[in-house]
Amino acid sequence: MKPIVALLLLFFLLPLYVAAQEEGEAPSDTTAAPARPPAAVVGDTTIYSFADEAPRFPSPCERYDTTAVAKAECAQRYLLDYIYQRAIYPVEAREEGISGTAVVAFVVERNGFVNRPEVLRDPGGGLGQAALLAVIGMQREVLWRPAFRDTTAVRFRVVLPVRFRLEDPKPYVVIDRDTVYTDLTKAATFTGNGGNLVGYFDEKITYPDIAQDSCATGQLDIQLIIQPNGLVKVNDIIDYNDLGVDFTSRAIDAATGSFGQWIAAEYEGRKVASAYDVTFNFTPTDPGCQYVVDNYARALTAMQEAQLLVSDSTTIDQGLVKMDEAVELFPRDGRFRILRGQARLDNNQLPGACEDLSLARNISLIDWYDGVLPLICREPTEE
């Protein structure tokens, strides 16, 4: 029997519009938080269910010269995509064949932040909690355009039905022009070097022809696409230490040079393209760099120990201290910054998380945290 996954459908209930009661200039269309309301309404804590303009999920359509209705429709599509990616179908509901519509509600504050998420209807099987967790994610990741009454930003309660439906999954994803299978009956197999892929790359990878007294040390992660004919393509590269083109070129040459030494993956008896992740480590061999190699080994050990500590709520502080030790030794290591930044984010240490994740983005050229950085790096403001 094929595995079952979820297709999430979402319907966003737009509230009815009411006519403005006072004359005033219409609010500008922008995803940024509006200017602070006049002093006369700062104390207004009313949560409205009707407004001249409902709140809108941020989307590129806010930049277009179009109507508020068109922007609202566009915002719904982006909200659908956001929830679809985050509302994971619970295992309990999947195993018991439970489907249905969960209804959640939340408040969009005057500054665009999401507050007070709650479940109004739960079909069971954890569906209500799954929908709620997706909304809770918006508290840290999304800044809405608030609702407006008489050109003034107001608090607004949004009711969001989220429909869960079971269906057979697709066994592949499309990456550029490649159909890459993720559901495999047989994984790709490396046949060269007696099947020892790590040993093969250790033999093929050499330190670039640059001055080794630079002592450049670090890691590259590369995702390969193994084609049905054995051809090897590079899909993605992450240079965590900003080693540069000399190092990435060596890694790419070694990876693509393994062409002809793979047995392609299979799906239901036919050969298909599949992804394969490999890691390349570069350490200098110059005797004068031995102290760097030793410090790097110390930093890796400290970070591995730290990850175990921060996963336990009783030892989080000790784990963060260990992470500090690793980062102090290698302050421009993107992996270390990501790991510490995520730990800080999980523990609501937003200034530190902003520092680490912003630097990791600049070093490693990753976009994983682009959606959350504007929020965690935002200067605190008073309501």
Q: State whether 157 and 239 are in the same domain.
A: no
Q: Which range (142-146, 190-194, 260-264, 374-378) has the least confidence? A: 374-378
pLDDT at 54 over 60: yes
Of 207, 205, 251, 219, give the one whose Cα is nearest residue 232. Answer: 251
Alpha-carbon distance 284 to 241, whole Å? 14
Within this chain, do residues 312 and 220 fall inside the same structural domain, yes or no? no
pLDDT at 14: 36
Q: Do residues 233 and 271 both lie within one domain?
A: yes
Provide the token pair at 39.
């002093």
Q: Which residue has the higher pLDDT, 1 or 85?
A: 85
CA distance 48 to 341: 37
Give Cα 271 distance to the centre of its chain: 31
Highest-pLDDT range among 23-27, 35-39, 362-366: 362-366
Q: Residue 213 to residues 79, 167, 247, 284, 285: CA-CA distances in angstroms?
A: 51, 58, 15, 8, 10
The answer to whether residues 113 and 211 belong to one domain is no
Asked if 88 and 150 sit in the same domain, the reply is yes
Residue-level pLDDT at 6: 38
Answer with the one of 167, 184, 199 that is the final residue of a domain. Answer: 167
Render pLDDT for 209-253 as a digit per residue (tens, 0 to 9). Answer: 876 668 999 999 999 999 999 899 999 999 999 999 999 999 999
Does 382 reside within a domain?
A: no
Give the pLDDT of residue 2: 38
* Region 295-315 average pLDDT: 94
> Does one domain contain both 136 and 190?
no
Q: How far apart are the first and last CA of the chain?
A: 54
pLDDT digits (tens, 9 = 90+) for 84-119: 888 888 888 988 889 999 999 999 999 999 999 999
Which of 14-18, 86-90, 319-323, 326-330 is least confident?
14-18
Q: How far apart are CA 103 and CA 101, in angstroms?
A: 6
Taking residues 252-278, report their average pLDDT. 94
Q: Residue 348: pLDDT above 90?
A: no
Backbone angles phi, psi at 23, to 5 degrees: -75, 150
Same domain, residue pair 18 and 141: yes
**How high is the pLDDT of residue 343?**
94
Quick check: 181 and 274 in contact, CB under 8 A?
yes
Q: Is the pLDDT of residue 20 over 60?
A: no
The answer to whether 11 and 161 have CB atoms below 8 angstroms apart is yes
93, 38: one domain: yes
Give the tokens for residue 244. Answer: 């540069």
Own/partner long-range contacts of 358-361 (Cβ < 8 Å, ≥24 apart)? 359/332, 359/334, 360/334
pLDDT tens across 122-176, in order? 999 999 999 999 999 888 888 999 999 888 899 999 999 999 988 777 899 888 8
**Close Cβ partners of 101 (under 8 Å, ≥ 6 residues apart):** 121, 123, 161, 162, 163, 164
When divided into structural domains, the chain yields a total of 3
Residue 344: the pLDDT is 94
Question: Residue 382 pLDDT more than 80?
Answer: no
Question: What does pLDDT average to over the chain?
Answer: 85
Of the residues 130, 145, 167, the one at which a domain ends: 167
Do residues 178 and 253 share a domain? yes
The angle, 0 to 180 degrees and rounded to 10, between the axes of the packed helices 334-346 and 316-329 is 160
The arithmetic mean of pLDDT across residues 363-367, rounded, is 90
Co-location of 195 and 85 in the same domain: no
**Which has the closest alpha carbon to 188: 280, 277, 279?**
277
Neighbours of 294 (CB within 10 A): 10
- Which pLDDT score is estimated for 212? 64
Specify the range with the lowest mean pLDDT, choosing from 42-46, 66-70, 133-137, 144-148. 42-46
Residue 381 is assigned to a structural domain of this protein: no
The DSSP line for 30-96 is: -SSPPPPPPGGGTT---EES-BSB--B---GGGGSS--HHHHHHHHHHHHHHHHHHH-PPPHHHHHH
Structure tokens at 82: 């956001």
Which among 142, 167, 192 is the end of a domain? 167
Structural domain span for residue 324: 289-376
The pairing of strands 265-267 and 262-263 is: unpaired
The pLDDT score that the predictor gives to residue 143 is: 92
Of 69-83, 190-204, 322-336, give the lowest mean pLDDT range: 69-83
155 in the same domain as 78: yes
SS3 230: coil
Residue 124 domain flag: yes
pLDDT at 371: 77
What confidence score (pLDDT) does residue 42 get? 52
Instruction: Decide if pLDDT at 60 tops 70.
Output: yes
The DSSP result for 257-307, as a single string, is TTTTSEEPEEETTEEEEEEEEEEEEE----GGGHHHHHHHHHHHHHHHHHH
With respect to residue 67, please indicate whether it lies within any of the assigned structural domains: yes
Checking if the pLDDT of 40 tops 70, the result is: no
pLDDT of residue 211: 66
Assess whether 154 and 83 both reside in one domain. Answer: yes
Specify the CATH number for the domain of residue 319. 1.25.40
Query: Each residue of 183-215: pLDDT tens digit?
Result: 999 999 999 999 999 999 989 988 888 766 689
